[in-house]
A and B are shown apart, each in its own frame.
Chain A
Amino acid sequence: MLQIKPIINTLMRSKSGPILLLIQIILSVAIVANASFIISERIALMDRDSGTAEEEVFDFRLYAFDSDIDIESQSQRDMRAIRDLPGVIDATTTSMVPLSGGGWSSGYTIGNSEETAKDTESAAIYYGDDHMVNTLGVDLIEGRNFYETEIVTGSPDLATHAIVSKAFAKATWGDEPAIGKIMYAGDFGSQPLQVIGVVDKLQGAWVNSSYLDNSVILNVRLVNVFTKVLVRAEVGTLTQLKQAIPAVLHKDQPNRVIEGFTLISEHRKRVYRNHELMATVLSMMVVLLLLITSLGLAGMVMFNIERRTKQIGTRRALGARRRDILSLFLVENYIICIVGGIIGGLVAVQLGQQLMTFYSLPKLELIYPIMTVVGLMVLTTVAVILPARKAASISPATATRSV
């Protein structure tokens, strides 16, 4: 390590090369740290569990445009027919499909009196029947499911019972048990809903909303010319049910459009597409940037070696071992790397700050610049060692021939 001082002297003598390298490292650290932070943040977003059996549950749309159809009884016949199909585990009509990007949401009012009443956080609303919990494949952890007799048919205003997600229960009632609590769908006092069950986890339709985990299932079988149907079936039966379901429904009433058939796992892919795209492009950027930085570094070292062939030869002639020559270049590299890393880390934090101010990004965590610098040290070591080994093998005789 006694070599440090002469190395710094060498670096100071021909400034432009090392300075360029320094700038490159600073910029690389700033970009890579922020990019990898955004990537990991997006991956964390995409990893969130919807709470449903995503590979088993699919939805389709049913449009009964013929005004002669009595939708109420038709819908009940349809559901029975679907549930009887081989491969189908359960089915229900619904107002919304998890992760689909479209549906219903609202806040509710809670409290003891009009004066103390307050609004809850918003929640996604699933209108469905006693088959909803089983169809979604969600985990009922407290209370009970709807009884068949509790299901009402018609408009959303008829709802009386609610099954809520744990996240919604926690946000609304804190640590108090949610079972038995009353919330109001209208203004205070109008349309009371009694909470009868809590499911462990159930996400709504909008993955970018702040209340994604807040969901409510209400005991209403909606009656509408336009119906969404959720079906839970054994994995791999979708292709066959895509044919079987329209066949059986059209046999009953042909004047209907039946289409859609999308697994929740496919909805997931679609709604997270932009996040995945961002993560992919940024990953490409990080990999290429590291590649360019290390190639550039290797190129510079190669050039340095050629320029300093005589110097290296002289050192070797004076008794320096190959290892000494190698470590000379490595130490030189580490000095630049560490200085660049420190400044780069500061720039990275600044850049993160700017991104946070202008865009809805969270604050950059310090571990990212640190990890980037460490990673860059490893990478540059490889980029330096390869050409430096060549330098170390220069024989003193050839190197000093023309001195």
Chain B
Amino acid sequence: MTVQELPGDAAYRPTPPPAWQPRTDPGPLLPDPEPYRVLGTDAAAAVDQELLLRLYAELVRGRRYNAQATALTKQGRLAVYPSSTGQEACEVAAAMALEERDWLFPSYRDTLAAVARGLDPVQALTLLRGDWHTGYDPHEHRIAPLCTPLATQLPHAVGLAHAARLKGDDVVALAMVGDGGTSEGDFHEALNFAAVWQAPAVFLVQNNGFAISVPLAKQTAAPSLAHKAVGYGMPGRLVDGNDAAAVHQVLTEAVERARRGGGPTLIEAVTYRMDAHTNADDATRYRGESEVDVWRAHDPILLLERELTRRGLLDDRVRNAAAEAAETMAAALREQMNADPVLDPMDLFTHVYAERTGQLREQAAQLTAELDAAADAEGEAR
């Protein structure tokens, strides 16, 4: 029936065919409006004390790592460092929610998650030192290369999780992204693919308030970033990103759900970037100290210390052990980063293709000749 054939002035109101009905009841997918908390609530009592102590040691080590890496930029040992100070609870809990066979897809800020997952602290910094883009074999710890273009690692995580499921492996992929990254098209495409394929992927957005200088309010008009999940047909969870116990719990649930075949989850962890975007950024241009002070009182280490104290678990021995382990790590990092890496210029041509093309063979010969000439000249000068 065409519109013209409609009787009289009856309004044209088609009855939606079944395919137009919502496929999923959005109610259960909606995040709670308040970020989920454990520390400082009754739920804290149920958290395993071993877990709390492990989280504590990792947070302290992580904070020290951030401080040491930032110091290395001042000495010119790192080209740049995007610190995750203030966000350690997200980093550490994310890594700890994964099993060994799972994969982590970090962004450039997530060195700490990679280190907490067992990656060598020096290898994690190769990208930022500048000797090679990825300093580790991704397969060894199942950590994808630290990703610099925003959100582009998210579809990789979905593809890997999908492939694992096709092969019958119960592997989960966890992908981390910043609040700014959620505006990128790849964020959308990754979430959509994950939901359509029911891929065992978990997306963790660290909403640290800013994308370089741009605050969240200029990034999105959504009620929260977790709310975006509903549109894709996956659950959204909102969690206090400074509450290590809460982040660990929410992530563990999402990972387990994915492993069981329950599909993907989008988690927004509300946290705060205490340092500037990187050492090269001047944060005073876009935010005031009073704002930072509010978050200082909500520091992830402080929150955890309070709970440990309440339970009588935080004595000098625990404090000192954590501080000492962190100091040992920092000293080793300092020492190793102070040695100049030994680089082979011919590596430039080694990993472009499985086999060198004719063009690359010619160019390698050219560089060899240049290096030989330079060595000869140096020999003569001596």
Q: Please indicate whether A and B come from the same complex rather than being unrelated chains.
A: no
